[in-house]
Chain A
Amino acid sequence: MERRLLLFLSCFCVFTSASFLNEQFDEKLAIRPLPDGRVAATFVFTTILKDVHPRDPRTLQFNDESQHYTLFPLSLGQILREYAVSEMHLTLNAGNWNYDRWGYPDEPGVANGAELWAWMGVNQKSMEDEQWRGLRNALAGLFCATLGSLDDQRTTSPILSFQPHDSLPSFPSQNQSTSASSSSSFHALRHASLPSEHVCTENLTPFLKLLPCKSRSGLASLLNPHKLFDADWHGMGVHVSWISDEGVKLRLTFQTIMDPLRITQSNKRSWSLENLFGKGISQRCPVAHTSQIVVSLPRGDMYAIRPEPPRIHEGAAIYDLNQASINNLRQTSPLPLSIDRTLKGTNQANGYLSLVLTNRLPNDSLKILYLEAMPWYLQLYLHTLQSEVSPIDTSLSSDTQKEAKNDLFKLINYIPSIQHSRPTMLQALLTLPPNCTVTFKMHVVKSFLRYTEYPPDAQRGWDLPPGVLTLLDDVDGKGNKIEIGAKTNRIFYTRPLLVDLATPDFSMPYNVIIFTCSVIAFLFGSVFNLLTRPFVVVRVGKEKKEGDKEKQE
Chain B
Amino acid sequence: MLDAHNVNQPPIDPATVFHQNTYLRRSIIASYWLVILLAVPLWWRTTSIERLSLPTSRVASQSESYLRLPVRLHLDTPNAGAASALQSLLDESARRDPDRWNGLDVLVSSTKINGNSGDSSYTIINSPTILIDGRKLYYPSNDLNALADVLTSLIVPGSHSYSIQRVAQYSPRYRLAFSLLNQDAAAGRPIVDWDITSAIDHHLSPIFTYLSTLHNFTIESQVQFHAPLAFEPRQLPDGSSALTHEQLTIFINSAEWSLSSSASNDPVLHFVLFVPSIRHSPLRILNADGTTLSPSNAFLLPQWGTIHLHNPPSNSPSAGPTLLTLTDLSQPFNSFAMQLLTLLGVPSLPPTISRSPHATVTTITQWQLDALMRRRALENSERAKDTLGSIIKLVDKIQNMPVGKEVRNDVVDALSELDQMHTTTHTSLTHTLEHSAHALTLSSRAFFNPTMLALLYFPAEHTYAVYTPLFASALIPLVVTTVREFKAWRKQRKQRGGVQEAKQQ
Contact = CB atoms under 8 A, between A and B. Distances in A.
Contact of A537 (B13, B263, B474): B13
Interface in B449-505: 465-466, 469-470, 473-474, 477-478, 481, 505
B220 interface: yes
Contacts of A340: none
A63 B218 contact: yes
B193 interface: yes
A66 B220 contact: yes
Nearest to A535: B14
B28 interface: yes
Which of A82, A513, A532 has the largest count of B CB atoms less than 10 A from its CB? A532
A392 to B, nearest CB: 51
Given A69-B221, A514-B469, A536-B15, A20 B20 contact: no
B32 interface: yes
Contact of A547 (B7, B222, B224, B228): B7
Given A138-B263, A528-B32, A20 B220 contact: no
Contacts of B25: 531-532, 534
Contacts of A70: 192-193, 222-223
Contacts of A206: 258
A53 interface: no
Interface in A517-551: 517-518, 520-521, 524-525, 528-529, 531-532, 534-537, 545, 547-548, 550
Contacts of A525: 473-474, 477
B220 A517 contact: no
Interface in B21-69: 22, 25, 28-29, 32
Given A79-B262, A216-B184, A286-B190, A521 B1 contact: no
Interface stretch (A2-10, A207-215, A232-240, A459-467): A207-215
Interface in B212-243: 216, 218-226, 228
A60 interface: no
Interface size class of B (residues with CB under 8 A): 35 or more
A326 interface: no
Interface string A60-102: 0001101111110111001101100000000000000000000
Nearest to B220: A67
B196 interface: yes
B321 interface: yes
A287 B32 contact: no
B473 A517 contact: yes
Contacts of A216: 184, 186, 226, 228
A287 B323 CA distance: 12
A217 interface: yes
B96 interface: no
A521 B321 contact: no
Choose among A74, A141, A521, A536 the residue with the greatest number of B CB atoms under 10 Å from its CB.
A74
Contact of B477 (A71, A516, A529): A529
A78 B185 CA distance: 24
B473 A532 contact: no
B221 A213 contact: no
A418 to B, nearest CB: 25
Contacts of A138: 262-263
Given A286-B225, A287-B225, A68 B197 contact: yes
Interface in A205-233: 206, 209, 212-214, 216-218
B320 interface: yes
B28 A531 contact: yes
A495 interface: no
B226 A66 contact: no
Contacts of B469: 513-514, 517-518, 521
Contacts of A520: 470, 473-474
B428 interface: no
A15 interface: yes
A141 B14 contact: no
Which of B7, B13, B187, B470 is packed against the most chain A CB atoms within 10 Å? B470
A18 interface: yes
Contacts of A243: none
A284 interface: yes
A535 B20 contact: yes
A325 interface: no
The interface size bin for chain A is 35 or more
Given A66-B218, A68-B197, A78 B264 contact: yes
Nearest to A209: B258
Contacts of B190: 18, 286-287
A79, A138, A528: residue with the most chain B Cβ atoms closer than 10 Å = A528
B261 interface: yes
A69 B222 contact: yes
Nearest to A522: B473
Contacts of B320: 15-16, 18
B2 interface: yes
B11 interface: yes
A213 B29 contact: no
Given A67-B220, A535-B1, A75 B196 contact: no
A67 B321 contact: no
A410 to B, nearest CB: 42
A377 to B, nearest CB: 26
Nearest to A548: B11
B331 to A, nearest CB: 20
B474 A521 contact: yes
A213 B197 contact: no
Given A74-B222, A142-B262, A521 B470 contact: yes
A285 interface: yes
Given A142-B262, A217-B186, A532-B481, A524 B473 contact: yes
A164 B39 CA distance: 59
Nearest to A549: B2
A20 B193 CA distance: 8
A283 interface: yes
Contacts of A141: 262
B160 interface: no
B28 A287 contact: no
Nearest to A206: B258
B262 A75 contact: yes
B289 interface: no
A518 B474 CA distance: 10
Interface string B190-219: 101100110010000000000000001011
B397 interface: no
Contacts of A514: 469
A137 to B, nearest CB: 9
Nearest to B190: A286
A95 B355 CA distance: 69
A421 to B, nearest CB: 21
A488 B263 CA distance: 32
B190 to A, nearest CB: 5
Given A75-B260, A548-B5, 17 more contacts: A18-B320, A66-B221, A74-B220, A75-B262, A81-B263, A82-B264, A212-B223, A212-B225, A283-B187, A287-B192, A287-B321, A516-B470, A518-B469, A525-B474, A528-B32, A534-B25, A536-B15
3 tightest CB-CB pairs across the interface, nearest first?
A521-B473, A217-B186, A517-B469
Interface of B: 1-3, 5, 7, 11, 13-15, 17, 20, 22, 25, 28-29, 32, 177, 184-187, 190, 192-193, 196-197, 200, 216, 218-226, 228, 258, 260-264, 320-321, 465-466, 469-470, 473-474, 477-478, 481, 505
Interface of A: 15-16, 18, 20, 63-64, 66-71, 73-75, 78-79, 81-82, 138, 141-142, 206, 209, 212-214, 216-218, 283-287, 510, 513-514, 516-518, 520-521, 524-525, 528-529, 531-532, 534-537, 545, 547-548, 550
15 contacts: A15-B320, A18-B320, A67-B220, A68-B221, A74-B258, A78-B261, A81-B263, A213-B226, A283-B186, A510-B465, A524-B474, A528-B477, A532-B25, A536-B15, A537-B13
